[in-house]
Amino acid sequence: MARTAEAEDPAGPGPGTAAGAEAAAEAEADTFIELDGVEKVFDVRRKTGFLKRERRQVRAVDGLSFTVSRGEMVGYIGPNGAGKSTTIKMLTGILTPSGGRLRVAGIDPSRERIRLAHRIGVVFGQRTTLWWDLPLIDSYRLMHRMYRIPDARYRENLDRCVELLQLQELLDVPVRQLSLGQRMRGDIAAALLHDPEVLYLDEPTIGLDVVSKAKVRGFLRDLSAERGTTVLLTTHDLQDIEQLCSRVMVIDHGRLMYDGRLEGLHEAGESERTLVVDLERELPPIEAPEPARVVRVEGPRQWLAFPASESAAGLVAGIAARYPLVDLSVREPDIESVIAKMYAERAGA
């Protein structure tokens, strides 16, 4: 690779120069995102009465350290107010850290935000980067110019996004008339027109229906597989993580609580899934094989809890063989309950 050769070439930029350090950092173990003791403190002034104001400091991010390698797809989860969005804003350069060291592609985001902008894409689920009153295609044309994307590359990326995100019918529709799911697909395309090496997604599936969620997930999976795009995904939906991410980081109060595989998180939190069964008629609680157990009965409907690390298939088969089943569904644990259990475990240990 040219970049590695350059970093090792004694005639090239020396380790003391910014360019040399950057090249070396990028070559090293393919680390793409790097946080070392990063902090973000907000000064908040609150009105507490007539002419009375209280000053308070909020440590939104409190000594965060982790690295993400090129091509990784990482889930970034935690309760509301945990510091997820603040982290993403620092990674884009929108916010400057109060302390610690942060690099994306060897670049300090807050110092070189514009240069970094050409290499990253970001989608905030709760906010659109599209022009509200303009047809979708006009937003893309504006981005084409803003990012100075070469014409051929713009065409190619647009065509690909339009096809895979099924945007053809929507291109001439003003953004304000799009449904939430359509707008989200439009936003994801907008973030990818300039071929970013990393994509930050902050709650991209929030409020989406099942079909839209499936479309977004399918697209992200292809993007990662075909382009090797690095993805950092914040979500409240554990299924997003389950289907997309081999690694998950949990943060709370601005600190990293867990970094590893999702299965490991389920074990750490002993989290449970719920099997909801509808029987033909009201019956006493089902005698389910251990460790599954009935946790609630309401008329002909019963809820059974079982460990999230186990498959539902055996349990379903066992019940179906002995009870008159009409319908069933499996509910995933929500992130809050997984994390809550993780804490309970630690406190008890």
Ligand X SMILES: Nc1ncnc2c1ncn2[C@@H]1O[C@H](COP(=O)(O)OP(=O)(O)O)[C@@H](O)[C@H]1O
Residues within the interface to ligand X (CB under 6 A): 42, 44, 58, 60, 78, 80-86
Task: Name the residue nearer to ligand X (CB basis): 86 or 139.
Answer: 86
203: which DSSP letter? S
- For the CB of residue 192, give the shortest distance to ligand X in the complex, in Å: 22
- For the CB of residue 85, give the shortest distance to Mg ion in the complex, in Å: 3
C-alpha span between 300 and 226 (Å, rounded):
47
Q: Name the binder of 42 from Mg ion, ligand X, none, CB < 5-8 A by kind.
A: ligand X
On whether the CB atoms of residues 248 and 260 are closer than 8 A, the answer is yes
Q: Are strands 247-252 and 255-260 parallel, antiparallel or unpaired?
A: antiparallel
Q: According to CB under 5 A, which residues from 163 to 182 bind Mg ion?
A: none
Segment near Mg ion (CB under 5 A); pick from 47-55, 76-84, 184-192, 236-244: 76-84
C-alpha span between 284 and 301 (Å, rounded):
11
97: tokens are: 């850290």
Nearest to 332 by CA among 318, 349, 302, 312: 312
- For the CB of residue 116, give the shortest distance to Mg ion in the complex, in Å: 21
Interaction mask 36-75, Mg ion, x per CB under 5 A? ----------------------------------------
Nearest to 235 by CA among 227, 225, 243: 243
13: which DSSP letter? S
Residues pairing with 259 in the sheet: 249
- For the CB of residue 130, give the shortest distance to Mg ion in the complex, in Å: 20
- For the CB of residue 257, give the shortest distance to ligand X in the complex, in Å: 12
Q: Distance between alpha carbon 273 and the CA centroid of its chain, in Å?
A: 22
On whether the CB atoms of residues 199 and 33 are closer than 8 A, the answer is no
Which residue type occupies 284?
Answer: P
Q: Name the binder of 41 from Mg ion, ligand X, none, CB < 5-8 A by kind.
A: none
- For the CB of residue 187, give the shortest distance to ligand X in the complex, in Å: 17
Please work out the total of residues on this chain that contact Mg ion, with binding judged by CB under 5 A. 2
80: tokens are: 């509301």
Task: Name the residue nearer to Mg ion (CB basis): 84 or 183.
Answer: 84
Among 22, 23, 33, 85, binds Mg ion (CB under 5 A): 85
Interaction mask 111-150, Mg ion, x per CB under 5 A? ----------------------------------------
C-alpha span between 131 and 128 (Å, rounded):
8
Q: Name the binder of 80 from ligand X, Mg ion, none, CB < 5-8 A by kind.
A: ligand X
